[in-house]
């Protein structure tokens, strides 16, 4: 009998690692998509919209397989972990850009007018007035996406990244105790996801402090 | 850029504005000398708010000319960033007060007032703070400096909004129905602040539904309807013996519903 807990904890850390990196890079991809979608010239807008449509219209699982197995044919060779981060980032980035855009658009138009009438330009208005307010509005939706990202990371087991789900499957091969192993791995997902929710609430309260005074 | 004292502070020449097929301003001429106060009254949809918003280019006019202290505000010849720079500079000289206040909810009252002088004029924190406190004092809200807008009443919010606009030391103040969204008992405190500005000879354009206030405070009153200035005169004349039938009708209806 081997002790499965340390092995699962180690694998859970890989799940956290791969999700955190994907979220980090996804954030910048999302920001770039938002900028493209508000561009004055149409081509960047079309490109961003086409990209978002493709990501939303295909399963994450397929995207993963496509990049990992199809990538080498066009010279894109990624190790499994990097592939998980890249596909995760590009996937979540598309959804996150929609959350960001929605938050920015839901800041009242009067805020923009007040700022512009003081003499602030477009960028300064975005920086001092719109984004600080949009941040509060987008944090919770980004939190939901982060949770989806963590859950989706179980799919990278198919490209043999030794994360929580893959490790669980391997341990079943040696212990023949699927109920115990999967229950334990499920509990670990719950712990990770509750930690994410806690952080999201913390950030949300920080970003919206002013409304409670 | 400051001109001689004869140069009007604000001047409009043949200003036209369309929203799609609807012409909301049908050629407006207006001259506001420095230190004067003009009230603009008229029914909803008469174009009076559009006129005011055109002056600082929140609405882009289709034809005509707008000048602030002799400098042209609308510049069809400037495109893109060049126009941005031009209009941002012009707007620093005009204070605008909105019907729905539009205070920045994520900043304290003091920060609302000092943001523009700090970021646009590069004023240091200490002097910006002194300026902010002085202006909040003037609108009677020095004790609310650290409060956030969500904790203020409508009247207090509007007084902060006035202080915020004054912080850039504007040459002219534009009031777009500044008291229309307020509960009746809060209107007076805002009117008092505006009267204070009038006594200091601030040039003001006031779009309002408050006939009594317009009559008290203005040097000149304009009645607009259907995108044209129907009648303009001294407030005493306009409110007591309007020449035009449409003005009479509007005032009868409006003063009638007030009592």
The answer to whether A133 contacts chain B (CB < 8 Å) is: yes
B84 has a chain A CB within 8 A of its CB: yes
Model's pTM, two decimal places? Answer: 0.84
A142 contacts A98 by C-beta, under 8 angstroms:
no
Cβ separation B98–A121 shorter than 8 A: no
H or E element in which residue A57 lies: helix A42-57
Which value does ipTM take for this structure?
0.90
Cβ of A210 within 8 Å of Cβ of B107? The answer is yes
Shortest distance between the Cα of A204 and any Cα of chain B, in A, equals: 13
Q: What percent of chain A has pLDDT over 70?
A: 97
Query: Is A132 exposed, middle or buried, given 0-12, 13-18 or 19+ CB atoms closer than 10 A?
Result: middle
Q: What pLDDT is recorded for position A58? A: 95
Confidence band, pLDDT 50/70/90 cuts, at residue A206: confident
Q: Do residue B92 and residue A132 have CB atoms under 8 angstroms apart?
A: no
Could you read off the pLDDT tens digit of each residue along chain B, which spans 259 residues? 555 668 899 999 999 999 999 999 999 999 999 999 999 999 988 999 999 999 999 999 999 999 999 999 999 899 888 999 999 999 999 999 999 999 999 999 999 999 999 999 989 999 999 999 999 999 999 999 999 999 999 999 999 999 999 999 999 999 999 999 999 889 999 999 999 999 999 999 999 998 999 999 999 999 999 999 999 999 999 999 999 999 999 998 887 544 3
> Mean per-residue pLDDT for A66-88?
93
Averaged pLDDT of chain A: 91
Give the C-alpha separation, B220 to A51, whole Å.
Answer: 58
- Indicate yes or no: CB of B96 within 8 angstroms of CB of A122: no
Burial zone of B79 (CB within 10 Å; 0-12 exposed, 13-18 middle, 19+ buried):
exposed
The answer to whether A118 contacts chain B (CB < 8 Å) is yes
What pLDDT is recorded for position B34?
92
pLDDT at A41 > cutoff 60: yes
């Amino acid at each position: 009998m081997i002790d499965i807990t340390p092995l699962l904890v180690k694998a859970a850390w890989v799940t956290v690692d791969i999700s955190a990196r994907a979220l980090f890079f996804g954030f910048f991809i999302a920001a770039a998509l938002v900028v493209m979608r508000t561009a004055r010239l149409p081509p960047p807008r079309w490109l961003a919209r086409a990209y978002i449509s493709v990501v939303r219209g295909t399963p994450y699982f397929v995207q993963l397989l496509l990049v990992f197995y199809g990538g080498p044919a066009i010279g894109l060779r990624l190790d499994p972990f990097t592939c998980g981060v890249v596909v995760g980032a590009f996937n979540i980035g598309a959804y996150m850009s929609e959350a960001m855009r929605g938050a920015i658009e839901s800041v009242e138009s009067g805020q923009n007018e007040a700022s512009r009438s003081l003499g602030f330009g477009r960028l300064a208005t975005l920086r001092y007035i719109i984004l600080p307010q949009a941040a509060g509005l987008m944090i919770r939706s980004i939190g939901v996406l982060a949770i989806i990202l963590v859950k989706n990371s179980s799919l990278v087991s198919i490209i043999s990244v030794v994360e929580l789900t893959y490790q669980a499957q391997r341990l079943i091969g040696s212990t023949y105790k699927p109920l115990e192993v999967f229950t334990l791995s499920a509990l670990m997902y719950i712990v990770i996801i509750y930690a994410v929710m806690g952080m999201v609430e913390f950030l949300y309260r920080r970003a919206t402090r002013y409304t409670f005074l | 850029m400051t001109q001689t004292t004869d140069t009007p502070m604000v001047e409009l020449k043949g200003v036209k504005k369309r929203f799609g097929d609807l012409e909301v301003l049908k050629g407006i001429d207006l001259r506001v000398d420095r230190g004067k106060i003009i009230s603009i009254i008229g029914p909803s949809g008469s174009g009076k708010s559009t006129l005011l918003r055109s002056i600082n280019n929140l609405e882009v006019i289709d034809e005509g000319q707008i000048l602030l202290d002799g400098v042209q505000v609308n510049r069809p010849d400037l495109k893109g960033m060049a126009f941005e720079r031009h209009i941002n500079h012009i707007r620093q000289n005009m204070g605008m007060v909105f019907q729905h206040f539009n205070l920045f909810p994520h900043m304290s009252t003091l920060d609302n007032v000092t943001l523009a002088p700090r970021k646009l004029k590069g004023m240091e924190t200490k002097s910006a703070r002194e300026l902010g406190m002085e202006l909040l004092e003037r609108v009677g809200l020095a004790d609310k400096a650290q409060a956030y807008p969500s904790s203020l009443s409508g009247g207090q919010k509007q007084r902060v909004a006035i202080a915020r606009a004054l912080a850039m030391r504007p040459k002219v103040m534009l009031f777009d129905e500044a008291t229309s969204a307020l509960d009746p008992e809060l209107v007076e405190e805002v009117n008092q602040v505006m009267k204070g500005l009038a006594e200091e000879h601030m040039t003001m354009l006031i779009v309002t539904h408050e006939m009594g206030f317009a009559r008290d405070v203005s040097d000149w009153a304009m009645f607009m309807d259907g995108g044209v200035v129907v009648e303009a005169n001294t407030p005493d004349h306009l409110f007591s013996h309007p020449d035009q039938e449409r003005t009479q009708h509007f005032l009868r209806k409006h003063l009638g519903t007030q009592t």
